[in-house]
Every structure is written in C-alpha cells, then in structure tokens.
Amino acid sequence: MCSRPAYADRPPRSPNPSRWTSGRGQDARGSGPVSRRSPDAYPVRGHSHRRCPPDPRPRPRLEMRTRSLRMSLPQVGEFNLIQSLRRRYGQTGRAVLRGIGDDAAMVRASSAHALLITTDLVAEGIHFNLHTATFADIGYKAAVANLSDIAAMGGTPQYLLASVAVPRSCTASNIDDLYGGLMRACRPHGVELVGGDTSESKDGLFVSVTVTGCVEPGRALRRDGAKVGDLVYVTGTLGDSLAGLRILTRKGRRQRRTSGREGANPRYVKSLVDRHLYPTARLQTGLLLAHDRLATAAIDISDGLSGDLAHVCRESGVGAEIEAAAVPLSDACRAYAVASGVDPIDWALRGGEDYELLFTVPPRNCSKLGRVLQRSTCRITRIGTIRPRAFGLRLRRQSGRVTQLVDSSYQHFRAARTTPREAAWSS
C-alpha cells in the first residue's frame, strides 16, 4: 500500500499577490497599472498549481493560423506556404547552422566544415515539357538547379542523389538519357552519383535531385547578411532563359535552330535556347566570393531578379534600389525582345532560371572584388544599392522615373495560371 505524501495534509495555497509580476517585469506590489497577468485582472477560483491563470481573451494569431490552414493553396501562394511551414516546423538544433530560408541547409559537420544540403523537384507539365526538351536536357538542368544552390552558398558540391517517378510509356533508354544528362552537368565539378530511388508514376515524369556539398561555416554565403549601403551585383546576363523558353514553346524542340520570329537572328535564337536548356552554375564565382569574404549576402537567380532580390531583402530586413539601365542583357536577348515587341528588362526581372548569382558587397570591398574576380570566367555587373527597409524595392528607369519594384516572379499555386511554367524551378 502506497504511503500518503507529506504534502497531502497541507491546506490549499491561496494566490499570493506578491508572487505576481506585471507583463513589463514590474513587481505587482509596487505602484503602476494593473498587469494583465495580475490576480486583480483575472481572479482565481480555488487553488491552482499554475503560476498564472490562463488568458481568457481570444488569440488572434492562433485563429489566423487555423484560418490559413483551411485556405486553398492558390489563396495561400507558394512563398506564404513555405514561410508557414518554416514557422511551424523549421525549429533547428545547435548543429543546424542554417535551415529553411536559404539556398541550401547548412549543418555543422566539424569545427572546420559544414555540410550543405539542397534538393529540387521538377514535374512534367510544370517545369518542363517533353515536346520541347529531351530526357538528357531535363536531367542536365535538374542537376544545375541544385549545383547553383551550392554556388550561392559559396560551397563545393560533392555528392548527388536522384529519384525518378516514371510512367510506363517511358523506355529504359529514356531513363538512361536522363541520368546521362545529370552526370554531364556533374562530372566537370567532380560530383558523384551515390543513390536515389525509382517509382512508377500514373501521370507524368517527376525528377527529384539532392546535392550535398561542404563549406567553411565562417565563410558561407547566406541570404540574410545584406546591410544598408551595400552594393548589389549580378553575374552574367539576365533574361536569356525566358527568351529561350518563348522560342521553344513557339517552335518546339525540333525547330530550336530556326529563327522563331521574323527579324530574329538564327544565331541569337540558338544562343538563347541553349541558355535555357543548358544553364551554368556559377560555382567558381561563389567560391571566390566566400573564400575572400567579399559578399555579405548571396542568392542564385532561379525565380527572376525581382523575386530573388525580394528574398534577400526579406531575410536581411532591408530594401533596395535597382538601376534598370545597369541590368546586364545579352545582345541575343535584346534583339529577340525587340523583334517580339517586349521590353527585355521585364524578362530579366521576372524570367528566372538564369542561375546567375546576385550578391551584395560593402563599398570597402569593391576594389578587392575587381581584383579577385579577374580569376573568374564570368562578368559581374553592379546594378543597384541596398536601402533601408522602409524604402522598399524600387526600380529606377533610364528616364529617371522611379517605380515600385513588384515581385513579378513565378509562384506555384497561383490562382490563375495561363501556361505551364518551364522557367520557374524553386530556389
């Protein structure tokens, strides 16, 4: 038979006002307004083992969260969905140096190195179309999307895992071509295929690629380090991938060497299509920026300049001003845009899948940046300046007119989608 605990015969304790403190940390015995947690505000019925009674007032944040979970995905949107998942499930332990919210997760492996992990899923009819891309094209680009994430963190890629869900209409040769495309992108960087999974699909082809890499924790590039006064740079040229996509969707894969529209140079057309199907991950530039600690923040341009700049500003708590005249455009993109009656700057802002790097640099590092990047194989261009958060995102046109820079990049789950999006692989 269990003995009765000694405290069982004690009379119940009544609330002791001297133990209650105000919401501002002020002792309730002192003067001042009644705290929302004081016994005068919420009388206690009988005794309780709680130090304070429950708050009977409504909790709008909880109600809002519950309401949002009942919303359809088009109402929520891709980026809001990611932020919601990040708040609810993205808690990190001490070993996790960077979780949801960057180009890759960063986990401490040792005192000198961190493990980088990134993954991308691509789906037929959303990210690619088999009428405009071969299986080898799809594999190549799926690998580059992940390699570019490692580049944006200033890391070195090491291993790749690839999983595919394939309809029965595909052949073994198709899958061999897809993996051949994956390895064509990976071999120049010494990345090895170490695993994956295969499954049957009832509807369409799905490819999921995961790449791991390494970086020194103190040198890693992140999205959340931009400071007011930093200068904004990009590598390469922007808008080429969207221009190439427009050519492919108009003419199809087999006609990709033709002009696509009257007035467009066939040589330009081939260049743009190749930029869409075979982008380059800027791994060398990312390594140089990280090794010399030149950049305060970085991201790869997979969602378009406007969208990815917005990601950096959101994570860093800043705004930005971009000079439209400074945005780098290739001759091919400019010529094809003019022939199409489109402003090429719009393609650069919203296109995506250029897989160039956008990064911010303090003014004191600019001279060193020029010297260091002489070793890089790609051009870099200064396009703007980081401003205070209240400034927002603004675009200064060549005429001098300043407009609000709207995030016009593609998002999954939009309420109105007019065409499948091949140029919007998530970052």
Based on its alpha-carbon atoms, the radius of gyration of the chain, rounded to whole angstroms, reads 27
Q: In what order do the strands lie in the sheet with 319-323?
A: 297-300, 357-361, 231-235, 380-387, 319-323, 393-396, 402-404
d(CA 45, CA 326): 69
pLDDT confidence band for 372 (50 / 70 / 90) = confident
Q: Which two tokens stand for residue 26?
A: 């002020």
Q: What is the pLDDT of residue 91?
A: 67
Q: Which two tokens stand for residue 361?
A: 């640099």
Say whether pLDDT at 155 is over 80.
yes
Q: Which domains are present in the chain?
A: 95-219 (3.30.1330.10), 231-404 (3.90.650.10)
Q: Which residues lie closer than 8 Å to 61 by C-beta, 6 or more apart?
A: none
Helix boundaries (H) for 252-408: 266-277, 283-291, 305-316, 331-340, 344-350, 366-372
Say whether pLDDT at 398 is over 90.
no
Mean pLDDT along residues 247-273: 68
Q: What is the pLDDT of residue 100?
A: 87
Cβ-defined contacts of 122-126 (< 8 Å, 24+): 122/206, 122/207, 122/208, 122/425, 123/204, 123/205, 123/206, 124/204, 124/205, 124/206, 125/204, 125/420, 126/412, 126/420, 126/421
Say whether pLDDT at 103 is over 50.
yes
Question: Among 378, 385, 266, which residue's Cα sits nearest to residue 322?
Answer: 385
Say whether pLDDT at 44 is over 80.
no
More confident residue, 232 or 70: 232
Element (H, E) at 322: strand 319-323
pLDDT confidence band for 176 (50 / 70 / 90) = very high
pTM: 0.78
pLDDT confidence band for 11 (50 / 70 / 90) = low
Say how many C-beta atoms besides its own lie within 10 A of residue 79's C-beta. Answer: 19
CA trace torsion 191, 195, 196, 199 (10° rounding): 130
Q: What is the pLDDT of residue 68?
A: 62
Say whether pLDDT at 352 is over 80.
yes
Q: What is the pLDDT of residue 146?
A: 98
Mean pLDDT along residues 234-245: 96
Q: What is the pLDDT of residue 266?
A: 80
Cβ(282)–Cβ(219) below 8 Å: no
